[in-house]
Amino acid sequence: MKQLSQDAQTTLLLTTHFGDKGPMEHGPLTPTEWGRFARWLTEQSIAPGELLVGNRRELLRGFQDNKISLERMETLINRGTTLALSVEKWSRAGLWIITRSDSAYPEKLTERLNHNCPPVLFGSGDNNLLNKPAIAAVGSRDVTNEDLKFSRTIGGKAAASGFAIVSGGARGVDEASMLGALEAEGTAIGVLADSLLKKSTSRIYRNHIQRKNIVLISPFSPEAGFNVGNAMARNKYIYCLSEAAVVVHSGRTGGTWSGATENLKKQWVPLWVKRTSDPDSGNNDLVNLGGSWLPHNIVEGDLNSLLGRKSTSNDEKDVKIDCIADQSNRSFYEIFLFKLKSLLKNDSMTRTELQDVFDLTPKQLDVWLRKAIESEQIIKKGTPVSYSLIQKAKGNQLAMFDES
């Protein structure tokens, strides 16, 4: 059995709900709180694991946060036996644990969510699948047979187009789309809000996990039971792990609705909505809010076409850049690099294509491209010259705050 690193142990101690304990006086840090604290640690050049061996009072001198008292941290950090009992069990069940600082942590999440991404991911199956291009399939648990059949078709279609299906792993649309992909010898990612341990042992997924066709992940304890808050909170991870999302059926409230509108607001990925005759559905409203109707002929076409077309909003670019600029005082080059990397994520691009996108003077573009090559962010190759990302493992804890 793999032993957790001390950094990972600290992260789990401070952020994970172990077991079913009900409300705690000093509850685990939320992803945002952990993000704040981790950033402070980085600034002080303190590795999280040091908190377990060093003199904590000394190390934490100067840390001030209204929400995160030293007492709270002390209580959380003293849960060592709870951690050991829980981690032993989860690892016994074949589950793995990765934290933001691990190289296996999906880059899409850190890039899109920055310090709001989950500090810890629990999972079962091949974690390499998390970095595969994926189509999100979302929809209600209780849908018509036609919608179920359509979900299965979309799953198969995704497989044929080289995409994984990412879904919430619940009954209904989620399960049907994942099984559709698996039956077509494709792959699937299930982002669960509860019961990861149990689901990983279920007959429908167990074999696929062993054959590395599916990965189930959850930002919540593998034994957590169903909880509406968690189910809502995990929606964003489904979108952020995808390249484009297909809404099969949404209500006007509830999980699918809130996830889809959140995605429209945050502009993570293009949102495609299936046409429906159900007058009670929220599908139409989603299109009014900025989603696009899924083309009728999509089942004959290639799902790659879902990636290109951006949704209607014109100021998407600005929103995104504003958001980056807002978060940390980035230089223009950093913003350029951020944008460049997200463009090159799936495919290489030629200089001309880049020129079109960036609308910079050719000289400026050259200077920045060269800088990016020298800092080993991208490589240049072939004729005609094209640029692509260097696929490298992420480094240490520091990397997550430093997208450049």
Partner 1 sequence: MGIRVEKSIAEDLLRNALDDKSASFRPNQWEAIDAVVNKKQKLLVVQKTGWGKSIVYFISAKVFREGNQGPTIVISPLLALMRNQIPAAERLGITAVTINSSNQEEWDEVKERIAEGDVDVLLISPERLSNDEFVRDVLLPISDNLGLLVVDEAHCISDWGHDFRPDYRRIANVLKQMPPNMPILGTTATANNRVVKDVVSQLGDIEVLRGPLIRESLFLQNIRLPDQAARLAWLSEHLPDIPGTGIVYTLTKKDAEQVAEWLNLNGISSAAYYSDVTHAGNPDSSSYRIALESMLLKNEIKVLVATTALGMGYDKPDLGFVIHYQAPGSVVAYYQQVGRAGRAIESARGILLSGREDQDIHEHFRNAAFPGGGQVNQILQALERSDGLSMPELQRRVNLTKGQIEQVLKLLSVENPAPVIREDRKWLRTAVDFEMDQERINFLVQQKTREWKEVQEYIDHEDCLMVFLSNSLDDDADTPCGKCSRCLPDGRMPETFSETLGVKSSLFLRYSEMLLIPRKQVPKDAFQKYGFHRILNRHGLEAETGRILSRWGDAGWGRVVMNGKHANHFGDKLVDAVCEMFEERWNPDPRPTWVTFVPSFNHPALVPDFAKRVAKRLGLSFQNVVTKTARNRPQKQMQNSFYQCQNLDGVFAVDSDIKTEPVLLLDDMVDSRWTLTVIAALLRSAGSGPVYPIVLATTAIGK
Binding residues for partner 1, per CB under 8 A? Answer: 1, 3-4, 6, 9-10, 13, 18-21, 52-53, 55-57, 74-75, 77-89, 91-94, 124-125, 197-198, 200-203, 205-206, 209-210, 223
**Cα 387 to Cα 351: distance, rounded to the nearest angstrom:** 7
Residue number, 54 or 162, with CB nearest to partner 1 = 54
* Closest to partner 1 by CB, 10 or 187: 10
Q: How far is the CB of 20 from partner 1 (least distance, A)?
A: 8
Smallest separation, CB 144 to partner 1 (Å): 26
Query: Which amino acid belongs to residue 245?
Result: A
Residue 269: closest CA among 311, 298, 326 = 311
* Least distance between partner 1 and beta carbon 205 (Å): 7
In the bound state with partner 1, the residue whose beta carbon lies nearer, of 11 and 283, is 11
**Could you tell me the smallest distance in angstroms from the CB atom of residue 21 to partner 1?**
7
When the beta carbons of 80 and 395 are compared against partner 1, the nearer one is 80
10 Å Cβ neighbour count for 32? 12
Taking the least distance from each CB to partner 1, the nearer of 75 and 258 is: 75
Nearer to partner 1, 77 or 343 (CB): 77
CB of 345: closest distance to partner 1 in angstroms?
29
If the CB atoms of residues 65 and 403 are measured against partner 1, the closer one turns out to be 65
Q: What angle do CA 135, 140, 142 make, to 5 degrees?
A: 135
The first and second tokens of residue 186, run together, are 């494709």
Residue placing its CB nearer to partner 1 in the complex, 199 or 341: 199
Helix (H) or strand (E) holding 98: strand 96-99
Hey, what are 146's tokens? 């036609």
CA-CA distance, 207 to 323, in Å (whole number)?
42
d(CA 237, CA 112): 9
Amino acid symbol at 384: P
CB 158 → partner 1: shortest distance, Å? 22
In whole angstroms, what is the distance from residue 178 CA to residue 148 CA? Answer: 11
Q: Which is nearer to partner 1, 4 or 372 (CB)?
A: 4
Single-letter residue type at 306: L
In whole angstroms, the minimum distance from the beta carbon of 55 to partner 1 comes to 8
Minimum Å distance from CB 130 to partner 1? 16
For the CB of residue 336, give the shortest distance to partner 1 in the complex, in Å.
42
Nearer to partner 1, 213 or 311 (CB): 213
DSSP state of 5: P
CB of 224 to partner 1, least distance (A): 13
Rounded Cα gap, residues 174 and 62, in angstroms: 46
Q: Give the count of beta carbons closer than 10 Å to the beta carbon of residue 299.
A: 13
Nearer to partner 1, 9 or 283 (CB): 9
Q: How large is the C-alpha radius of gyration of the chain?
A: 22
**Any alpha helices (H) in 27-172, and if so which ranges?**
31-43, 50-53, 56-59, 70-77, 80-92, 107-113, 145-160
Secondary structure (3-state) at 175: helix
> Beta-carbon neighbour count of residue 119 at 10 Å?
28
Can you point out the beta strands (E) in 210-328?
A: 214-218, 244-249, 271-273, 292-293
Minimal distance, residue 323 CB to partner 1, in Å: 36
Residue 335 phi/psi, 5° resolution?
-65, -40
Q: How is the chain split among helix, strand and coil, in percent rounded to 5?
A: 50, 10, 40
